[in-house]
Amino acid sequence: MLETKRLILRKLTLDDAEALHRIYYEPGVFKYFSKGPPDSVEAERANIARHLDYYERHGFGLWATILRDSGELVGRCGLLSQEIDGVAEVEIGYLLSPRVWGRGLASEAARSIRDFGFELGHSRLISIIDTQNIASKRVAAAIGMTLWKQTQFHNIDVEIYSIIHEAQPKAAKDAGD
């Protein structure tokens, strides 16, 4: 589990399926995704079950995104393995309800996920963003990502934003000893 000032990020549970399914069908949520949302709560439960297995195999995955003050589930976010142009990468992904857009919550969640990914030892993290998705580009920039390249992902033109974890300079490490 990860916590930020306004969010709790925790592993998904099968009980999250109904709330996530509702969010997926809010206007605009899947506008920039290559695939549409699951067509039923049962299909979302099966999707979550696959993510639970994914956690076990990879040590990371998608998390439920919960508002700290109310306990309301408002989306999902996390790390996913992706193949970009034949190369394995780790993606920071986020999807939030339009009811909470414009508050900086996606950036807050993505920043925490970025730090977690670096703690796991990943030296580079990416975000796969539809070329028209200005809001996601802003989130990527807010957490220090820059445009790395343009490519296709699932037959859609995308921009790949990335950030590389820079180890502390030797002088800084020595100062701390």
Task: Kindly state which CATH superfamily the domain 2-176 is placed in.
Answer: Gcn5-related N-acetyltransferase (GNAT) (3.40.630.30)
Structure tokens at 4: 């930020």
- Burial 85-100, CB ≥16 within 10 A → b, else e: eeeebbbbbbbbbeeb
Beta strand segments in 73-123, E = 73-84, 87-96
- For the question of whether the overall pTM of this predicted structure is more than 0.75, the answer is yes
User: Alpha-carbon distance 34 to 107, whole Å?
Assistant: 22
CA atoms within 13 A on the CB side of 72: 9
Structure tokens at 68: 């700290």
Cβ contacts of 57 within 8 Å, gap of 6 or more: none
> What is residue 177's predicted lDDT score, i.e. its pLDDT?
37
Strand order, beta sheet including 7-11: 2-3, 7-11, 62-67, 73-84, 87-96, 124-130, 156-164, 146-153
Q: Are 48 and 11 in contact (CB under 8 A)?
A: no
Per-residue pLDDT of the chain (177 residues; tens, 9 = 90+): 899 999 999 999 999 999 999 998 888 877 777 677 778 899 999 999 999 999 999 989 999 999 999 999 999 999 999 999 999 999 999 999 999 999 999 999 999 999 999 999 999 999 999 999 999 999 999 999 999 999 999 888 899 999 999 864 443 333 343
Give residue-wise pLDDT tens across range 133-174: 999 999 999 999 999 999 999 888 899 999 999 864 443 333
- Burial 27-46, CB ≥16 within 10 A → b, else e: eebeebeeeebbeeeeebbe
Structure tokens at 102: 């414009």
